[in-house]
Amino acid sequence: MRPSVIALYEEHTVRPGIVPGDVEGVVYAVVESGGRQYTAVEGQAITVEQLPYAAGAEIELDQVLLIADGDDVQVGQPVIEGALVKATVLGEESGSKIQVYKMRPKEHYRRRKGHRQAYTRLRVDEIVKG
């Protein structure tokens, strides 16, 4: 029996991370970096779009959209004033390779190109509430 299209879609769109209500007693924050949102948990590593910092640098992410500590939830409009996520840069990574293929039929026009997106790996050290 073949799986449904919806099941395949859900299987490939699930991203690991902390879901609200998943773990009690865990402080987590939703931060924005590079136009994307990431769930940050103290002590865990996250992979964000490439940042211009060397490995070992300590950085502060100030675009904190949400902080949840059990039943205490702070939601920014759009960000929480004074809230920070302090992190250490672990290094740079490359994403998986994708193939870009262009073709125009009947014109013998074919172009093949590969691309690997650059990412920065961060370890979340501390979540400072605003």
Closest CA to 41 of 129, 119, 126, 120: 126
CB atoms closer than 10 angstroms to residue 92: 14
Mean pLDDT of 3-30: 58
- State what percent of residues in the chain have pLDDT above 90: 73
Contact (Cβ atoms closer than 8 angstroms) between residue 55 and residue 121: no
Question: If pLDDT is split at 50, 70 and 90, which confidence band does 3 have?
Answer: low
Mean pLDDT of 7-18: 48
CA gap 17, 15 in Å, rounded: 6
Residue 11 predicted with pLDDT over 50:
no
- State what percent of residues in the chain have pLDDT above 70: 82
pTM above 0.85, yes or no: no
Handedness of CA 20, 26, 30, 34 (dihedral sign): negative
Mean pLDDT of 72-81: 91
According to the model, what pLDDT value does residue 95 have?
A: 93
CA gap 93, 96 in Å, rounded: 10
Mean pLDDT of 113-117: 95
Higher pLDDT, 75 or 22: 75
Q: How far is CA 21 from the centre of its chain?
A: 20
What DSSP assignment string belongs to the chain? Answer: -PPPHHHHHHHHH---SPPTTSSTT-EEEEEEETTEEEEEETT-EEEEE--S--TT-EEEE--EEEEEETTEEEE-SSS-TT-EEEEEEEEEEE---EEEEEEETTTTEEEEEEE--EEEEEEEEEEE--
